[in-house]
Structure 1
């Protein structure tokens, strides 16, 4: 899995830009293959001027805004990220993009780092799906999830997302082979028999 988190100047894909990209690659058991990378990107003046007050305050509080003048060009950052991913995932189309509400990150990456998105599998692993389901079906599980400490910085947010998925896996998807073949076949048949969409 290629875990990516991005910080942007905002969420308007037509105007806003990437300002930080972090990546951690894990195996299927959520073990990091190394410590990851975290790159700052210097945005255009247009994107900086478009930044809303809420986002500006968030990036000021995290310390990110003060560091952007030292950021890389988006082209150089894209090259470094792709080289990093290729080193750990040498075969294209195999590893899924993973993260929290990662569709938003994917949209900005597709616009500003399309070669990276093209290297990854088309499916994504979005921790926010499990979070939303837990909130509806297992509110206690949702309420006791690990506290986030990422402070709206990309690498910290990835670590939060990884810890969150590890938590949901441990309490909602316990280790082992799961139900027997007969139990699974019975459950599948029951779902089809009771479907409201017959």
Structure 2
């Protein structure tokens, strides 16, 4: 008699934009969250997706690259629409508590953090969003790992995140109007689409 394999309870797709790529000095500028099941379908309605700008004090430094390339985001973080780290932590944990049944006593029941190069986001999440971190499994689902194996073992070009047509083909429900790299909410939608692309090409169901 074969053993029944327990599926992961949920994937918590998370992406963040930082003040600097030097993670030891970096602070969060933007965080976004979408929660899916293991089939990559949203567990919550689209309007519950989180996309939060984190309050940045006047004069608080950002890297030259961020100042040049994410000036609009930096301005939002210095506006009244931005939230504190504590408020962001509360909103994310409320989403998980409602749709993932967290907190979970058993590690095996906890949802898994997912994204592209998600170890970077995990590092700052653990530092600045402790309630969120306490609700997650210790494992990470990193789409970048599958991208590397797809290129190295399958020998084909990776998913094109700049193709809106391809994004909508593989993101469940579609609805992506434009490619917008370095926006946290777009980046997690692109990561979900990318994983779904590899899944379909490899016939993994």
What TM-score comes out, normalization by structure 2 length? 0.77
1:4 to 11, 14, 22: 14
Deviation at 1:86, TM superposition (A): 1.2
Counterpart CA distance in 2 for 1:124 and 1:83 is 21
Query: Cα deviations across residues 106-136 of structure 1 (Å, max 9, x unaligned)?
Result: 0000000111111011101000000111121
Deviation at 1:158, TM superposition (A): 0.5
Deviation at 1:173, TM superposition (A): 4.0
Counterpart CA distance in 1 for 2:157 and 2:70 is 30
Alignment of 1:134-173 (within 5 A): 134-142=150-158, 145-148=159-162, 149-173=179-203
Cross-structure match for 1:26: 36
Counterpart CA distance in 1 for 2:202 and 2:67 is 37
Paired residues in the alignment total 169
Contact 1:150 1:159 in 2 (8 A): no
Larger relative helix fraction: 1
- Describe the SS at the equivalent of 1:2: strand
Segments ≥4 residues shifted beyond 6 Å: none
Structure 2 unmatched runs, 5+ = 1-10, 163-178
Matched, 1:88 2:99: yes
Alignment of 1:70-149 (within 5 A): 70=79, 71-91=82-102, 92=104, 93=107, 94-142=110-158, 145-148=159-162, 149=179
Counterpart CA distance in 2 for 1:163 and 1:40 is 23
Counterpart CA distance in 2 for 1:138 and 1:26 is 27
Deviation at 1:147, TM superposition (A): 2.6
Cross-structure match for 1:52: 63
Counterpart CA distance in 1 for 2:155 and 2:19 is 33
Contact 1:7 1:18 in 2 (8 A): yes
Deviation at 1:159, TM superposition (A): 0.4
Counterpart CA distance in 1 for 2:144 and 2:188 is 13
Matched, 1:14 2:14: no
Q: Work out which of the two has the higher radius of gyration on C-alpha atoms and give 1 or 2.
A: 1
Query: Cα deviations across residues 142-163 of structure 1 (Å, max 9, x unaligned)?
Result: 2xx2333232111000000000
Cross-structure match for 1:41: 54
